[in-house]
Amino acid sequence: MTRVTTKLGEVLHLVGGRKPQLHRLPKAGYLPFLSAKVLRGTEMPEYGDPKDKNSVLARADDLVMICTGSNSGEVFTGKIGLVASTMARIDVSPSINQSYVRYFLQMHFHLLNGAMKGMTIPSLDRQLFNALTIPVPTLDEQQRIVRRLDEAVERIDIAKANAEANLQSARAIFESHLNSVFADSGRVFETEELGDVCDFKGGAQPPKADFIYEPKLGYVRFLQIRDFGSNRNITYIRESTKNRLCRSDDILIGRYGASVGKILTGQTGAYNVALIKAAPKLAKLEPSWLYHYLRSDAFQSRLGKIADRSAQAGFSKDDIHAFPIPIPPLTEQQFICSQINRLEEQIQSLVSNYSSKLVAIKELRSSLLRQAFVSDPELV
């Protein structure tokens, strides 16, 4: 059966948002200013007068699309407020069901998001948007497709929520066990000050001119928090006594900002000033015991309090010298660490399984949308 189609620009109209005068507190009749962060619930809104000449109103059943930035093409509905200048309200022809359009745009998110225009602030390619071809069956047929998609998406969302909950539970099991080990060990075994049993060495920051971007004899990887473990944007630095070097079994701790307390290991190279190397200096301290201690709340909660007091949200080796670390006999450390490692392997297997399920669920959703709008709608 031949399907009737039309260009998106024939049945939709984008009304760009603007920025009216805003106030932190709402007044009578004022509405929230709908920025992307407000729509996601990650930021409290400011408020504006819907009668302001720069106000673009969105009703609860309107579609609102992000038009600039990394999430351009994302669509929201169910919000009442004033559309931000980075967004647009989508006015829909009476011949098209709103939810039908929303699902169609969700199917094309990656296309729209990947074809943004502009150098400084990438934005939606409206020409591409308007040129997209959308099937236009009868309204009754559109509503039937929407009902089928609503039912399927609801089941998918339930499966996704269950997989995410299981993923969180698996991680929480390991964290709970790890934290209990060091909480209990502090009561059972003698403790030492961390600085007395461990050496700390801060990293170095060579000049940019010393970096190269391809591996070369005599050069090592330059380790930074932002690309640790990544194969993208890797830089290399000459192996030199002036640079602080680490082996794969060394432990690195993030020192500043959002990276404070992040524990890194398993890499060789030179490390920068945002990292500090920790190494046991006594034979009675097992490296794995130190590694797990640094990941536990026994260390992380104390470190967080120290970092919060710093203007740069960071710490120095002197700040953590007096932290107490339990020191069981070496054989006991090794036994406990083997148990922790065994549990972590089991948890990682569960995490991998649930992560794979989440990928499959995402692919299933995409497949359903393609089936609805690309295949024969009778199959939906």
Distance, CA of 240 to chain centre:
36
- List the structure tokens of 374: 């690309």
Rounded Cα distance, 47 and 31, in Å: 5
| Confidence label for 233 from pLDDT (cuts 50, 70 and 90) | confident
| Confidence label for 229 from pLDDT (cuts 50, 70 and 90) | low
**pLDDT at position 377 over 70:** no
Task: Quote the pTM value.
Answer: 0.72
- List the structure tokens of 308: 């919060």
The 10s digit of each residue's pLDDT in 185-204 is 767 788 999 999 999 999 98
- Determine the average pLDDT of the residues in 252-278: 90
| Confidence label for 258 from pLDDT (cuts 50, 70 and 90) | confident
pLDDT of residue 379: 43
| Confidence label for 277 from pLDDT (cuts 50, 70 and 90) | very high
β-bridge mates for residue 82, sequence order: 33, 57
